Structure 1
Amino acid sequence: MTTLTADARRGATPLDVVRLHFSQRGLLLRTPPLIMLVVFVLTIIFAVIFVRMGSVPGSSEWIQNSRSNAAVFWALPGFFGWLGVQTVSLTFPLALSLGTTRRTFVVGTVLSRVAIALYVTAMLLVLLGIELATGHWFFHIYMTDVWLLGAGNPFQLAATSFLATLAVLSVGGLFSAAWVRFGALGPIALAAVLVLILGFTAILVIPFAADAQPWWAALAAGIAIAAAVLGQYAPLRRASVR
């Protein structure tokens, strides 16, 4: 914050906004590993329960069912959705009061989200490496080697985790920007529009579901990220600082 205050005289840069966001380094860097620790403990508990019920660790049935565990993928979006909201609703007024332009704020916020997505991706890749090197945590525990993350493919895991994290952060920022600009009705109206868009998209895509390719999901995530960033900037251009 002090850096951004000093830089306000010469005009803050996107990197100044990044530093402002990362003033909460403890929250940003410690929370994802803690969430993964909780997921790991719960995965172990369920594995022990299944063993007690007669499942055989390492069997084909065990591997198939264990790789269907998507807890590691679904555990993080709640936090990142909240974080995406916070990076706009709380930081935007502060950044503007310290001399940041609206465009600079959006660019710096996007860079911050990219950094967070890279951090999460690196964390999951490290966990995957440990998981594979230890024979799945010495007890056939599948946490990152799951179907949704590529079943042990590090490239698919990296692409999935990076795009998913960035998409959730961006959509959270979009809803927050709607609230900053239009008040409580902004997110409600935005949600209604998104539901209609997703509904029409599903109607168009469902007939081609059997031919779906992994890159379709990557393309959809890229479109969602770009649309969310542009959609965030549009309302913030005219939003009043509260």
Structure 2
Amino acid sequence: MSRATAVVRLQLVRRTTWFLVPLGIMLVAGVATVIIQLAIQRATGMSPSSPGYADSARNNPALAWSVSGYLVATGVASISSVFPVASSLGTTRRGFAAGTFLTHALVSAYLAVVAAAMLGLELLTGHWFVGIYVFDTAILGAGNVVVLLLVMFLGSLTAFTVGAVFGGVWLRFGPRGPLGVAVVAVLVLAGLLLALAPSLADIAAAFEFWWLAVVGVALVLVAAGGTSLSLRGASVR
């Protein structure tokens, strides 16, 4: 465990990368959401008290998706850029994989707590005083702080670990590694879609939110396992 915590300290040397940049992206996405929703209010004549306005405004996934690409890229860099340094310092491959996963979990928890705090502020101010829905959105639980914490934590951790596995296979197999993983992922998704196509309507009707949590946990476990396996044979570049 001490080796893993040493890796966490090494990873978190880049505090701006882990903490400030994703926060900045979330704030920029929030400002963009405010501008767009105000423009919609002016263009349509709708007000926050109009029937159906809240439901429509909550169907805005911008905040949830805005930071995901950056988190995936950071996950890649946390393996491809830091592994050579950690190896030169005597860190074992298993310790590096465990410590990097702990780092991803820690930062994911931080993002979830920040989002929960912003949701609280949004609700206290009556949606930023002008009926703007930024954190109180359907994809983040429509004001349910427990759901928001789960979505933000699990979503961020999934993005980090998916990026990490791409970084791991790049170290192990070179440029062909990420390409191979992407091709396999597309083929698996296409196969599942074809197999489930006759039942998609029934699945959609029976859909439960917790299914996404199960899928997220499964992706995290598969990606973390793939990262650990790829690092066993990875060369220090």
TM-score normalized by structure 1? 0.92
The answer (yes or no) to whether the contact 1:164–1:221 under 8 Å persists in 2 is yes
The amino acid across from 1:241 in the alignment is V
Q: Distance in 2 between matches of 1:136 and 1:60?
A: 16
**Which residue number in structure 2 is paired with residue 187 of structure 1?**
178
**Which residue number in structure 1 is paired with residue 219 of structure 2?**
224
Identity %: 38
The amino acid across from 1:229 in the alignment is A
The answer (yes or no) to whether the contact 2:34–2:134 under 8 Å persists in 1 is no
Residue 103 (1) aligns with residue 94 (2):
yes
Q: Distance in 2 between matches of 1:58 and 1:39?
A: 24
**Which residue number in structure 2 is paired with residue 51 of structure 1?**
41
The answer (yes or no) to whether the contact 1:125–1:157 under 8 Å persists in 2 is yes
**Which residue number in structure 2 is paired with residue 14 of structure 1?**
4
Quote the offset at 1:137 in angstroms. 0.6
Q: Distance in 1 between matches of 2:108 and 2:51?
A: 33
Stretch moving more, 53-62 or 112-121: 53-62
**Which residue number in structure 2 is paired with residue 211 of structure 1?**
206
Q: Distance in 2 between matches of 1:27 and 1:102?
A: 23
1:60 alignment partner, SS class: coil
Count of residues in Structure 1 that have an aligned counterpart in Structure 2: 232
**What are the equivalent positions in structure 2 for 1:67-146 lying under 5 Å apart?**
67-146=58-137
TM-score normalized by structure 2? 0.94
Quote the offset at 1:221 in angstroms. 0.6
2:12 alignment partner, SS class: helix
The answer (yes or no) to whether the contact 1:12–1:100 under 8 Å persists in 2 is no
Q: Distance in 1 between matches of 2:131 and 2:196?
A: 37
**Which sections of structure 1, spanning at least 5 residues, go unmatched?**
1-10
**Which sections of structure 2, spanning at least 5 residues, go unmatched?**
none
Quote the offset at 1:91 in angstroms. 0.3
Q: Distance in 2 between matches of 1:171 and 1:117?
A: 13
1:61 to 43, 52, 58: 52
**Which residue number in structure 2 is paired with residue 6 of structure 1?**
none
The answer (yes or no) to whether the contact 2:78–2:164 under 8 Å persists in 1 is yes
Residues 141-182 of structure 1, C-alpha deviation per residue, up to 9 Å, x if partnerless? 100100111100111111111111000100000011111111
The amino acid across from 2:235 in the alignment is S
Q: Distance in 1 between matches of 2:195 and 2:148?
A: 28
RMSD: 1.4
* CA shift in 2, pair 1:236/1:155, >3 Å: same
The amino acid across from 1:127 in the alignment is M
**Which residue number in structure 2 is paired with residue 167 of structure 1?**
158
Q: Distance in 2 between matches of 1:172 and 1:94?
A: 19
Instruction: Point out 4+ residue stretches in structure 1 off by more than 4 angstroms.
Output: none
